[in-house]
Amino acid sequence: MTVIIVLISIFLFVSIEAIGLVLRRRRGEAPGEHARAFAPVHAPKGLFFSPGHTWAFLTPTGELRLGVDELLAQALGGADRVELPKPGTTLRRGEPMAKIFRLSRTLTVPAPVDATVVAVNDSLQHGSVPLDADPYGAFWFVTAVPVEHTEALASLKVGDRAVQWLKREMQRFTEFLAARLTPQTLGVALPDGARPVMGAALTLDEEAFQKFQQEFASGKSA
């Protein structure tokens, strides 16, 4: 048993290093910094999560703050730029809310609710940001006003239900990668729940990335 654990640990380390090297080469970086595995799910209390991996938070003023969750943020490993809707734009649940540009990839993320945009996070639109570092705080996307609060939030997941769903989604993403990447570029995807590395979605080819968009950021129920 000890030998098996050691071998699994070695495979995990080698796999993470391999995918990190691929990502660093794509960024044109020197091979010095180690790749980081996905952080454990933490889904803050009070946030409502949509099937498209976006969230909503009801502010004290009655507005909704919206953004992307930790799965999308970590799958991309950051953002070079985020294209946001202008204030006054009407958002429809499940339809495009923003576009995240990362290296050669563009991910369109859906709105979690029906609402009207009243403010945007300008810091996301003018250069790269470590989106994966604080997707629920500093790197929110927009503030919007819903037509009716209860109806807007009723279909979203919150509390322990949201945490359990997000854990299942993390495992589903790991399995998604395992079916499409070789061990040399996979980070790791093991039956015991081992986690992929930051930016793992960037190792997918164009066809597989579009499938990732459909599977995880389409707004369809999961």
CATH of the domain at 180: 2.40.50.100
72 SS3 class: helix
Domain extent at residue 56? 1-222
Both tokens of 60, joined, read 């004290």
CA gap 212, 137 in Å, rounded:
25
pLDDT of residue 38: 86
Question: Domain total for the chain?
Answer: 1
Contacts of 115 (CB under 8 A, 6+ apart): 64, 66, 90, 91, 144, 145, 146, 147, 152
The edge-to-edge listing of strands for the beta sheet with 90-91 is 47-49, 54-58, 64-68, 142-146, 115-120, 90-91
Contacts of 91 (CB under 8 A, 6+ apart): 66, 85, 97, 111, 113, 114, 115, 116, 117, 142, 144
pLDDT of residue 184: 60
Cβ(32)–Cβ(176) below 8 Å:
no
pLDDT of residue 34: 57
**CA 30 vs CA 24, 26, 33, 34, 154: distances in Å:** 7, 10, 8, 11, 47
pLDDT of residue 61: 93
CA gap 25, 61 in Å, rounded:
45
Where the chain has pLDDT below 50, the residues are 3-19, 21-32, 187-193
pLDDT of residue 29: 44
